């Protein structure tokens, strides 16, 4: 994998070879490419290497809805599993590091009162006398397992805390920072060479972290290369800040930058973990790199949300039909981190205070959802809708819906398999199939090859057939019933049916359909 080479049978000096001797770098097991990876004499011949080397542990990929930033960390997922009775959350207290001297670098939040919400708080600490280098094997293995490339101990610590606790951090080489740090809006002439090797020019709608020499970081998204930490770093500044989610999302879209930090900040990180996150990173730096910490500097004010919901337990039964004991419902909320406060003289109605890491909780229905998902959706009874006497049900399908259903059945009966493809295609394909008008071009496409609304279903189906053929499944028969776009007028969006079949694909009848209605 390190060389992007697929191994195959070969002949070397007239001798047939069925394999290849590889270095650790070629197998992406380490950065060592100086020689062949030599296994010890007691390595069991015939055993899978991944199992023998302890690399066969499970990696679980979790797709999140945008309203659950608390689950964008291992700790947050563990909290949910604990509440569901699947294991026990290991919640360890984080003790503040004892600062031996004042931090020599100060922080200024340069905003008008109306913009103070853009950067509510900024925590900073200097650790001097560190020895940077490779991070330990256990940390590198965990980062590699989730697709991150280890860089050095200081940078790896920030990535580790980001994934482990959902707290993005940044580290500056203190000797490369000139003067104090200023958090402000971008200005004309600002420019920063970021860690991805690209140069960006922040505008006034974006937030930056600057020093006396200029911009050092695009706030909440990516640091600058100039002040980045390398193996020669001996003094490091650890930053843990809070940013406005909407501003971070807007900046990321404008600059076209997607990072783990942006992913979390634009969804909303736990404000209460801003300072503890800096403390946790400090302890890891001291443990892995040594050094002596300064006192922590905190500019601004860490918000303390206190959102309470007046919650009657009867709401669970009203919305879901699920009847649970009040003690069980209270226990579920408390395990998820909610504070349940009983109201005076009312035992079946409580005030529920959402924890700081749950910005998505707004009302009673959100609390019902929390209780039901932990108690088990399978416990919600399936109840059919009541019918009025013995009257014949009124038809609910429109003529277009009936035709769509008939087209799907007819195409499926002809031996075709239904596919669902993107409504967006490239400009080149759109023009080839009668589209490509400026009115059908997307202002903010999700990818460069998905820039135009499709004038026909055929480009997507042909591309799907090609992808199948590339993977050895050439004899395919596919159909799709979906929307096509001939213009931006009121009647230019239509429903069409189309099918493609390779000649050797099995079929029950000859069929071709590409007629819109």
Which of 279, 177, 189 lies closest to 228 in space, CA to CA? 177
- What does the pLDDT average to over 20-36? 85
Q: Summarize pLDDT for 420-468 with one digit per residue, the tens.
A: 999 999 999 999 999 989 999 998 888 888 999 999 999 999 999 999 9
**What pLDDT is recorded for position 12?**
85
Q: Summarize pLDDT for 410-426 with one digit per residue, the tens.
A: 999 999 999 999 999 99
Report the mean per-residue pLDDT for the chain. Answer: 91
Q: Summarize pLDDT for 83-111 with one digit per residue, the tens.
A: 999 999 998 889 999 999 999 999 999 99
**What pLDDT is recorded for position 513?**
46
pLDDT band at 390 (very low <50, low <70, confident <90, very high): low
Residue 183 has pLDDT above 90, yes or no: yes
| Secondary structure (H, E, C), 51-80 | HHCCCCCCCCCCCCCCCCHHHCCHHHHHHH
Give the long-range contacts of residues 360-368, CB within 8 A, separation 24 or more. Answer: 360/67, 360/68, 360/69, 361/307, 361/309, 362/307, 363/309, 364/309, 364/310, 364/311, 364/312, 364/315, 365/315, 365/319, 366/309, 367/309, 367/311, 367/315, 367/333, 367/338, 368/315, 368/316, 368/319, 368/320
Residue 385 has pLDDT above 80, yes or no: no
Placement of tokens 């990876």 in the chain:
37
Decide: 237 and 229 in contact? Cβ < 8 Å: no
**What pLDDT is recorded for position 489?**
86
The structure's pTM equals 0.73
Q: Which residues pair with 480 in a beta bridge?
A: 498
**What pLDDT is recorded for position 507?**
59
**What pLDDT is recorded for position 8?**
85
Decide: 383 and 321 in contact? Cβ < 8 Å: yes
**What pLDDT is recorded for position 516?**
44
Q: Can you point out the beta strands (E) in 102-142?
A: 107-109, 121-128
- What does the pLDDT average to over 487-493? 87
Q: Can you point out the beta strands (E) in 385-440?
A: 417-418, 424-425
Q: Summarize pLDDT for 306-355 with one digit per residue, the tens.
A: 889 999 999 999 999 999 999 999 999 999 999 999 877 767 889 999 99
Q: Summarize pLDDT for 229-256 with one digit per residue, the tens.
A: 999 999 999 999 999 999 999 999 999 9
Placement of tokens 């290849």 in the chain:
20
| Token pair recorded at residue 248 | 């971070």
**What pLDDT is recorded for position 1?**
86
Kindly tell me the burial class for residue 283, based on how many C-beta atoms sit within 10 Å of its own C-beta (0-12, 13-18, 19 or more): middle
Give kind and range of the element (H or E) at residue 492: none
- What does the pLDDT average to over 498-516? 64
**What pLDDT is recorded for position 447?**
82
Q: CA 437, CA 441: separation in Å to the nearest integer?
A: 7
Which of 307, 308, 311, 319 lies closest to 364 in space, CA to CA? 311
């Amino acid at each position: 994998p390190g060389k992007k080479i697929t191994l195959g049978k070969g002949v070397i000096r007239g001798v047939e070879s069925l394999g290849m001797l590889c270095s650790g770098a070629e197998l992406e097991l380490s950065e060592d490419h100086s020689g062949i990876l030599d296994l010890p004499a007691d390595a069991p011949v015939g055993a899978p290497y991944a199992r023998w080397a302890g690399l066969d542990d499970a990696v679980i990929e979790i797709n999140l809805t945008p309203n659950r930033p608390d689950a964008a960390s291992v700790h947050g997922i563990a909290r949910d599993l604990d509440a569901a009775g699947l294991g026990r959350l290991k919640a360890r207290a984080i003790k503040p590091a004892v600062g031996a001297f004042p931090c020599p670098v100060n922080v200024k939040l340069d905003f008008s009162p109306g913009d103070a919400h853009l950067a509510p708080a900024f925590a900073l600490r200097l650790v001097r006398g560190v020895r940077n280098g490779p991070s330990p094997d256990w940390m590198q293995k965990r980062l590699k397992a989730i697709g991150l490339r280890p860089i050095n101990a200081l940078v790896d610590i920030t990535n580790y805390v980001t994934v482990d606790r959902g707290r993005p951090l940044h580290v500056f080489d203190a000797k490369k920072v000139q003067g104090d740090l200023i958090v402000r809006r971008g200005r004309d002439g600002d420019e920063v060479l970021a860690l991805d090797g690209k140069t960006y020019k922040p505008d006034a709608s974006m937030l930056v972290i600057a020093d006396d020499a200029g911009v050092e970081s695009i706030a909440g998204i990516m640091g600058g290369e100039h002040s980045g930490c390398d193996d020669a770093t001996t003094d490091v500044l650890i930053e843990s800040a809070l940013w406005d989610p909407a501003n971070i999302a807007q900046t990321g879209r404008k600059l076209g930058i997607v990072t783990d930090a942006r992913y979390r900040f634009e969804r909303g990180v736990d404000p209460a973990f801003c300072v503890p996150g800096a403390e946790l990173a400090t302890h890891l730096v001291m443990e892995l790199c040594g050094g002596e910490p300064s006192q922590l500097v905190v500019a601004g004010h860490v918000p303390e949300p206190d959102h309470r919901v007046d919650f009657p337990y009867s709401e669970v039964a009203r919305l879901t039909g699920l009847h649970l004991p009040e003690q069980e419902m209270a226990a579920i909320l408390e395990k998820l981190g909610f504070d349940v406060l009983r109201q005076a003289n009312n035992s079946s109605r409580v005030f529920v205070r959402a924890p700081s890491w749950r910005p998505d909780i707004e009302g009673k229905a959100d609390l019902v959802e929390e209780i039901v998902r932990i108690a088990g959706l399978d416990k919600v009874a399936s109840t059919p809708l009541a019918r009025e006497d013995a009257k014949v049900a009124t038809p609910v399908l429109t003529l277009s819906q009936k035709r769509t259903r008939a087209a799907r059945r007819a195409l499926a009966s002809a031996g075709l398999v239904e596919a669902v493809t993107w409504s967006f295609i490239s400009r080149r394909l759109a023009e080839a199939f009668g589209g490509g008008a400026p009115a059908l071009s997307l202002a903010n496409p999700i990818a460069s090859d998905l820039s135009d609304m499709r004038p026909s279903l055929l480009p997507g189906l042909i591309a799907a057939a090609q992808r199948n053929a590339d993977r050895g499944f050439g004899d395919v028969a596919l159909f799709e019933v979906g929307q096509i776009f001939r213009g931006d007028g009121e009647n230019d969006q239509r429903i069409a049916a189309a099918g493609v079949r390779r000649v050797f694909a099995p079929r029950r009848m000859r069929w071709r359909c590409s007629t819109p209605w």
